[in-house]
Structure 1
Amino acid sequence: MALKKEHRIGRHATLLVLTDDRSEQEQITNQLNWKSCSGKVGSMESQKVVAAIETAAKQQGIIKDNVYRETHSLYHAIMEALYGITRGQMQLGSVMRTVGLRFAVVRGNPYEDETEGEWLAVAIYGTIGAPIKGLEHETLGLGINHI
């Protein structure tokens, strides 16, 4: 059970969230025939960030809305990525922090053995800081979970 070097799902999700070029975004996932989506969210509430990512993944067909294990997998990947951007605090508004984020969700099989099944990677990049324009800093989080 080895990861394929060119199939590093977390790397692809991170590259996808960091690029502004739409054609480059398409190239990142099309080369592997993986599913992906991306979007933006800004909030002082963690649950709104989670909801925005889940909604985009469902609307873009990355996960099936009526299959619990897919929603559950996505939730854990999102929480792991959020944990990274919030430095383990998992809260925003209650500690007077606001975020302006971009996210990318990638679904695919990163292993040589196809029976390992599909995985989800969620990358979140943007700014976090006090709710005063100009007093934020960059942040990046990544979460990966099996389906």
Structure 2
Amino acid sequence: MALSKDRRIGKHAILLLLSEDSSEHVAMLEQLNWKSCTGKVGAMDTHKVVAAIETAAKKNGVINPDLYRESHALYHAIIEALNGITRGQVQIGSVLRTVGLSFAVLRGNPYENEQEGEWVAVSLYGTIGAPVKGSEHETIGLGINHI
């Protein structure tokens, strides 16, 4: 059950998110038979961030919207990534904070043994702060869950 060095799903999710030109990275991920999508969301409500990421993953075929276990795995990866963004307190608007985030969702098998199955990773990067222009700072988060 060894994690493959060149198939680390969290690392690839972060690289995909931060790459200036993601097309080359996406092509490499497709060779691994991995699925991915990227997007942006800005909100003062946590549920809007979750909804934007879930919608993008479903519309881009990263997860099957008809299988609860896939939506459930994605949800937990999103919440884990939000924990990083919000420093462990998954609250935004209720504590007068707003976020402007880019996200990447990646699905694949990071193990040498294919029988280990697929995992989903969610990476978030952007700003968080008071809802006043110029009162924000950078933030990053990563969540990984098995499907």
User: Which residue number corresponds to residue 17 of structure 1?
Assistant: 17
Three-state SS of the structure 2 residue aligned to 1:112 is: coil
Question: What is the percent sequence identity of the aligned residues?
Answer: 70
**Residues 72-87 of structure 1 aligned to structure 2 (within 5 Å):** 72-87=72-87
Three-state SS of the structure 1 residue aligned to 2:78 is: helix
User: Which residue number corresponds to residue 36 of structure 2?
Assistant: 36
Query: 1:23: how far off?
Result: 2.3
User: Which residue number corresponds to residue 90 of structure 1?
Assistant: 90
User: Which residue number corresponds to residue 3 of structure 1?
Assistant: 3
- TM-score, structure 2 normalization: 0.96
Deviations along 1:61-119, whole A, 9 cap, x unmatched? 00000101000000000000001100011010011100000000000000011000000
Query: 1:22: how far off?
Result: 3.5
Give the whole-Å Cα distance in 1 for the aligned partners of 2:20 and 2:28. 12
Give the whole-Å Cα distance in 2 for the aligned partners of 1:89 and 1:138. 16
Contact 2:16 2:22 in 1 (8 A): no
Contact 1:42 1:100 in 2 (8 A): yes
Moved over 6 A (4+): none
Aligned amino acid, residue 136 of structure 2: E
Give the whole-Å Cα distance in 2 for the aligned partners of 1:22 and 1:106. 13
Query: 1:28: how far off?
Result: 4.7
- Which structure 2 residue ranges, 5 or more long, are not aligned? none
1:106 paired to 2:106? yes
Kindly report the root-mean-square deviation, in angstroms, between the aligned alpha carbons of the 2 structures. 1.0
Give the whole-Å Cα distance in 1 for the aligned partners of 2:135 and 2:28. 32
